[in-house]
Amino acid sequence: MSLFGKILAKLGFGDGDKTATAAPPPSAPAAAPAAPAAPVAVSVVDVVSKLEGMAASNPEKLNWKTSIVDLMKLLGLDSSLAARKELATELGCPADKMGDSAQMNMWLHKTVLQKLADNGGNVPKELLN
């Protein structure tokens, strides 16, 4: 599983989102064209609530709102430079930021939060800027 996939799993993305499409009733005429399947609603994951809950029960004071290292620690993931570089590569970090760990970390934190929002996470705009 990819590192970002692990982040999604730790926050509960994808759990129970698979809903079976109902079959047409047996009384429907056979010649009638099949109706297009209704879109399945993606359930929203309250990212802030989950992370704040994790932070409240964590013995370390972790600032996950601004630090990718603290965010990864809070999720119980490896937060080493090698792991962050792997995640940055996976998410397409620009080469010029990869050589400077501070720039890479800032890019990575912002990108992870944006990708969580893109995948149905409820992330406030102030955390995405």
The number of C-alpha atoms within 13 Å of 89 and in the hemisphere containing its C-beta is 8
Whether 3 is in a domain gets the answer: yes
What digits encode the pLDDT tens for the residues 65-116? 999 999 999 999 999 999 999 999 999 999 999 999 999 999 999 999 999 9
Whether 81 is in a domain gets the answer: yes
Nearest residue to 54 via CA among 72, 40, 36: 72
Tokens of residue 6, six digits: 């692990």
Tokens of residue 42, six digits: 């993606």
Tokens of residue 27, six digits: 């009384």
Question: Mean pLDDT for the chain?
Answer: 83
The domain total for the chain is 1
Domain that holds residue 108: 1-10+44-118
Whether 19 is in a domain gets the answer: no
Whether 26 is in a domain gets the answer: no
What digits encode the pLDDT tens for the residues 20-49? 333 344 444 455 555 555 544 456 889 999
